């Protein structure tokens, strides 16, 4: 069973430390949620785990499959089995969803074997059809240009479809609920739940408890001041929904 192990992670942006000693372990088959107010480092954590060059790791390690992934390029981390669903997915006019996905799969295959000629079209179509049926997506979606003119919910569903096709072992969902109405949120959550299982570990990063009404986490962590200050089960998210973050701040300040 693969696990992502974050040890004493410190991250700075333009010289300002944002993450200050974060420890977390995510195993396949587990769903973790990180919650916290704006500016506490949640999205910084997501982008750091995937290797965004603007984020400087000043201390700590992140281990996955026997490697410190901080030494790897983003595409190497992806091929290793880590996936990031963006908060604000970028539109790519002129490139269909299907072509984008086939290109991504072929890039992975050729990285492992330069002689690989790519996934055969019939095999790709069969795979794409099965994943879209699993996610209850209209087949016409595959022929649209990636995120071009998509609603917020459609962009997030496209991210979940990418996750289904690339089949990562650890998936990071960076505020997937951002900008979604209740119906779109439910549809996206159903997609995540359809992929959930013993082979997939999920880290859900969110401000609010509402997405956790649909994706029930095994573990909930509260992030404050660049580190995890409180952990618990799904009940912790409900407590936050009712009482806000003030009690956490008071507790954190008392021991800081």
What pLDDT sits at residue 256?
Answer: 54
Residue 16: predicted pLDDT: 94
Concatenating the DSSP letter of every residue in the chain gives --EEEEEEEEEEETTEEEEEEEEEEEETT-EEEEE--TTSSHHHHHHHHHT-TT-EEEEEEEEETTEEGGGS-HHHHHHHTEEEE-SSPPPEEEEEHHHHHHHHHHHHHHHH-TT-----HHHHHHHHHHHHHHTT--GGGGGSEETTT--HHHHHHHHHHHHHHH--SEEEEESTTTT--HHHHHHHHHHHHHH-BTTBEEEEEESSSGGGGTS--SEEEEEETTEEEEEESHHHHHHHHHH-SHHHHHHHHHH-
At residue 164, the pLDDT reads 95
Q: How high is the pLDDT of residue 166?
A: 94
- Note the pLDDT of residue 179: 78
- What pLDDT sits at residue 242? 87
Total domains in the fold of the chain:
1
CATH number at residue 41: 3.40.50.300
pLDDT for position 103: 95
Q: For residue 188, give its domain range.
A: 3-255
Per-block average pLDDT, block size 10, for the chain (256 residues)? 95 95 97 91 95 95 96 94 92 97 94 91 97 93 96 92 95 87 87 92 90 93 93 92 86 64
């Amino acid at each position: 069973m693969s696990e992502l192990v974050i040890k004493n992670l410190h991250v700075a942006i333009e010289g300002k430390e944002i993450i200050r000693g974060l420890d977390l372990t995510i195993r396949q088959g587990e769903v973790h949620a990180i919650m916290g107010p704006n500016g506490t480092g949640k999205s910084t954590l997501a982008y750091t785990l995937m290797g965004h060059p603007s984020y400087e790791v000043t201390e700590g390690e992140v281990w996955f499959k026997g490697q410190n992934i901080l030494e790897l390029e983003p595409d190497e981390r992806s091929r290793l089995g880590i996936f990031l669903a963006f908060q604000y997915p970028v539109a790519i006019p002129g490139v269909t969803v299907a072509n984008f996905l086939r290109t991504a799969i072929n890039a992975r295959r050729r990285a492992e074997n330069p002689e690989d000629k790519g996934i055969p079209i019939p095999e790709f179509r069969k795979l794409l059809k099965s994943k879209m049926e699993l996610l209850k997506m209209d087949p016409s979606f595959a022929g649209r240009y990636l995120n071009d003119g998509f609603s917020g919910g459609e962009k997030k569903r496209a991210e979940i479809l990418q996750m289904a096709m690339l089949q990562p072992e650890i998936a990071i969902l960076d505020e997937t609920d951002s900008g979604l109405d209740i119906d779109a949120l439910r549809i996206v959550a159903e997609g995540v739940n359809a992929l959930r299982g013993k082979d997939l570990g999920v880290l859900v990063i969110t401000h609010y408890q509402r997405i956790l009404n649909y994706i029930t986490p095994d573990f909930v962590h509260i992030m404050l001041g660049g580190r995890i200050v409180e952990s618990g089960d799904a009940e912790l998210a409900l407590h936050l929904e009712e009482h806000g973050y003030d009690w956490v701040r008071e507790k954190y300040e008392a021991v800081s």
